[in-house]
Amino acid sequence: MSRAQALILIGAGSLGLAALLAPPAATAHHSFAMFDHVNRITLAGTVTRFEWTNPHVYIELDVPDGKGGAKHYSIECASVNVLMRTGWKFTDVHKGDTVKLLVNPLKDGSAGGMLETATFADGRTLGDSNPPGGVFER
């Protein structure tokens, strides 16, 4: 057996162990490693655009900077399909709504992130994906 074959066998073994510990994850649309799942931020602002689309729903948000201006953020949500199964409706967010979003920001520091929970203008709060805890089905 070559070294490479041995490595593959070891790899298969560790994959098997991982599978025993937790069910293997099916393929998501993309890796979520670009988002910071630890240092979460809360953004309260005004919706400038709501895209009810796949592969992801997007909320474009102007967040007041406290100096009379605003900083714009692009927030990626789960897919239409996952949001619908989580209880969202396409009418839950409108342009001009005031919303509060708990977000996993982009690690590169640019003004974007992935949604964790959204509090809508009517006060309801819904999660973005299920289940919570950094395991994503999107």
Partner 1 sequence: MPAVSSSAFGPSVIRRYLPCLAALAMLAMGFAPPASRAGAKSPPDITGDWMVYPSRGKGGPPDPKLVAPQPTPLLLTPKYAGPYEAKRAAERESDKRGEPLANDSTKCIPNGMPQMMFPIYPLEILQTHGQVTIIAEAMSQVRRIFMDQPQTRIEDTPPTYFGHSVGHWEGDTLVVDTVGVKEDVLGYRDVPHSDRMRIKERLHLVAPDILHDQITIEDPIVLQKPWTFTFAYRRSPGYQMLEYVCDNNREYVDDKGVTRMKLQNH
Backbone angles phi, psi at 119, to 5 degrees: -105, 115
Residue 25 and residue 114: Cα distance in Å, rounded? Answer: 19
**Closer of 17 and 67 to partner 1 (Cβ):** 17
Q: Is 104 in the site for partner 1 (CB under 8 A)?
A: no
Token pair in block for residue 133: 């805890």
Q: Is 79 in the site for partner 1 (CB under 8 A)?
A: yes
**Closer of 27 and 122 to partner 1 (Cβ):** 27
Question: Which residues are CB-neighbours of 118 under 8 A, at least 6 positions away?
Answer: 59, 77, 92, 93, 99, 100, 101, 102, 125, 126, 128
Interactions with partner 1, residue window 38-67 (CB under 8 A): 48-49, 51, 53-56, 58, 60
Q: By CB under 8 A, how many residues form the interface with partner 1?
A: 56
- Give, for 59, the enclosing helix (H) or strand (E): strand 58-64
User: Which residues of this chain interact with partner 1, rule CB under 8 A?
Assistant: 2, 4-5, 7-9, 11-13, 15-16, 19-20, 22-34, 36, 48-49, 51, 53-56, 58, 60, 72, 74, 76, 79-82, 84, 106-108, 110-112, 130-131, 133, 135, 137-138
